[in-house]
Structure 1
Amino acid sequence: MNRLIVKFALAVAMALFVSFTAVTFIFHQSYITTMEEEAVPLANYLFNGVPEQIRAASDDERAAILQALAKELNTKANIEPLSSSRLTDAHREMIARGQVPITAEQGYSGATFFLPLDNDSVIAIGPLKPGFGPGFWDYVLILLVVFIVVAVTATAMSAPFVRRLNRLEATAVRIGQGDLSARAEESSNDAVGSLARSFNEMAERNQQLLEAHRATLQAVSHELRTPAARIRFGLEMLSETKDPEKFSDRLKAIDEDLIELDHLVTELLELNRSEVVGTDERENLLIIDLFNQVLKKAEEYCLSLNIEVNAPPDLAVFVVPRLFRRALRNLLSNAVRYAKTQVTLTGRENGDMVEVIVDDDGPGVPDDHRGTIFQPFARLDDSRSRKTGGVGLGLAIVARVVASHGGQVELTDAPSGGARFITRWPTAMSLGKIGR
């Protein structure tokens, strides 16, 4: 995290350096333009009479005059030919008109004045530094002060964020090491606080998911152990059985336990497969067709009940057909298991979703069991009997299938006094697959 402070400070310093360099360049160009355009009248005034003195003096006197002038101005003064490389054609035209051209030296070292002397030579005086404005080292000092201020400010501003990010990182490390109860501090409403809240929500979901998986694994171990123990006991008793009729009965019991075990494994696989649904597997299907498909396969165990179906003929859902039929089959099987005479399947539109409702006229579900009935291996009497059947995964599969489609499942009381299971499913329109 300390590298973050350094990177932040360097980024700001670099931006200021580029800005400072650009401003300096613009100032320098403005300085040159000002010197060349506005200093000419000043030069004519300051050096008025100097060329006349040089022309009237002898060679020795000229040297003395130039030396004295250079000493007084703290610069250089000498006679150069008109063909000097420091003069441009524009400068020579100015000299021909009797004007004083000026050249601004690079690096703010000042300006050099060229006084017309005769047809072949000029008097070069300079460079003369301006008597105002900061010099080069002044600019260096200004830049250094700015960098120091930026570094201190960046450190002061970013240090609290870095400390909080360090604590968030430490929390992540604790979770990675197995402490699933670790949570980040949510002490503010800024970006880091929002990140901490999102982190905690993710950690909470992960903890719940892992705990649910752990509980499911424990339940699976228990559920597998029960038929396995019965099979082992049956095999032990089988070796001691001499009566052919009892021998056949025990073989039949072992076979039933194996069927139950196979059914349990199948349900577990289906529970796992129902957690993730790809959108490319979904199809837009009519509810009434799905109802008829499920009822056709359920005729053999629905003969003693009256099954009523209510759904508009054009009502459709956007689902994975295999998973939807499995969820509906589980709901119907649960309703048939507890219904007395009547089971009702209803499909209706509710906003952007489609509700599929399964009602029965059985004993219903007590309020204190409604919060756990969709958990794996949940049973109202906490035991499995051969009369009611089931392994306690049917409604858990329903809940996961519905959730994987982005829907919801709800348990309430049916008008007939039994249980009402309401599942909500998406439509192609709600997922943006077709236009209105």
Structure 2
Amino acid sequence: MPLKFFLKLYARLIGLTFLILLTCAALFLGVNSVREQFWQERFSGPLLRWIAATPHPEYQYHWLESLYDFRVAPPGDLALSNVIRERLSYGQVVARETSIGQQVMIQSGQGRVLDLRLGDIYTDVAEATALVARIHLDPVPAEGREETMKQLSGALAVNMAAVQDQSALPDSDVLERVSERGISLYHHPVQGRAHVLLRLEDGTLVDMAMPASFNPWAWPVVLLLLAVTGGVLALALFLALRDVDSNLRAVESVAIRIARGEMGARVDAGDSRLVSRLAVAFNSMAEHIQRLVGVQREMIHAVSHELRTPVARIRFGIQMIESASSPEALQKQLDGIDGDIQELDELIDEILTYARLEQGGPVFALQETSVSDIVRQVVSEQQMIRPGHSIEADIDDDSERWSLSDVEPRYLHRAVQNLVGNAARYAEHRVRVHCQFDEDNCRIDVEDDGPGIPEEDWEKVFTAFARLDDSRTRTSGGYGLGLSIVRRILYWHGGQAFVSRSEELGGARFSLVWPRKKPMEHSL
């Protein structure tokens, strides 16, 4: 890996890390500022609503003024924004940050605003709640105190219970503070939340558990930060790989062009060092393939040329025959030579067709054509050639309505003809061509009642010049190229050709499967 590229990538990673940290920090502070205000209003809400429900809170809770600068004033006497005034008019608790701490407000039923100034909202609200609870618990007799504590717990959103078990008492420092002030705020060692221990006038100790304090690392915040981090990483990765993807798409485009027969296509590496070596290796491979195809083409042409020479010689020999033992022998000789000529011409045609398909052509002109019409035409032609066999087309109505497909009619006709002719050659009496079309795919199955093909030879039959036995002579026909041509035709249609056993007729079943409609980018 080049040092310059490594340093450039390293610098980008450092910048990406800094960007992620900066984004997460800004998001964390912004989200938590809103969350904390919401928590402050929800936490102080029960206490303020309790005080606001009192007819004259400034007299009943007059001690709040000295502790928390408690005030009761008409809204017009306070410098409040329109949003705060509207929220107060709806009965909401409003918390806002001031230069001397937090300020919490609520509007009473008489239209006056209750205002508390708190240094630490969690500690001050907890202690104020405990003081309010003690005021209401002191006058209550011991036998009715439990019911009052239940009512206060529900109204003030706390859990209040008298201390019965000495082992539940906190440490001595808390008890000493209770004896001095009457209340003491402490953190429970097991529950992990704040508690207030308060002492009533008759000496009863009451433990009051407060709601949990504000947690800036709540799981929704953590999930949000993880999501943002993942999103930033995904965006950075997308931007970083965009150029690489562009170069790889160029390689992919050249590969598709070569697959379609443009053997001279090559990859231009450009300025990208990431794919330069890949481009060199790919171009080397393409050149090698092009050489192999050229050698194959020359070989096929040479074979076809050599085959045409004896054809011309045989035809010339026919004209030179001057003597024969009998007219019947002469006619037999002439018929044999003519048959040889016909077979040689067919072989040449098969070789040339296979060569064109194998080397990446011809260029298919796909057009929307009825496949069922092609099948019926082939069946009709083969039935005329082989009247002793029963050759039938099996096309149901459901398939008929999907018979229009993007195909090259001449070559698809050739593929079906090869299969039907091959099936009729080895069938005992019957050949069936079954068509099954749907919205996405077309399938043609050619079945016969012949001896079938052994399973171990199912793939071998599609190999060029392959023969399963040595019994094929002039009477049996075949050059070992027909099924290879069929497979190549289906390849250029984006489909497959394969062989299996016919469950109904017992012989071989050759199947053609291809997509009914071709995407524009895959059209040949």
- Tell me the TM-score normalized by structure 1: 0.47
* Higher RCO, 1 vs 2 (CA within 8 Å, ≥6 residues apart): 1
TM-score (norm 2): 0.40
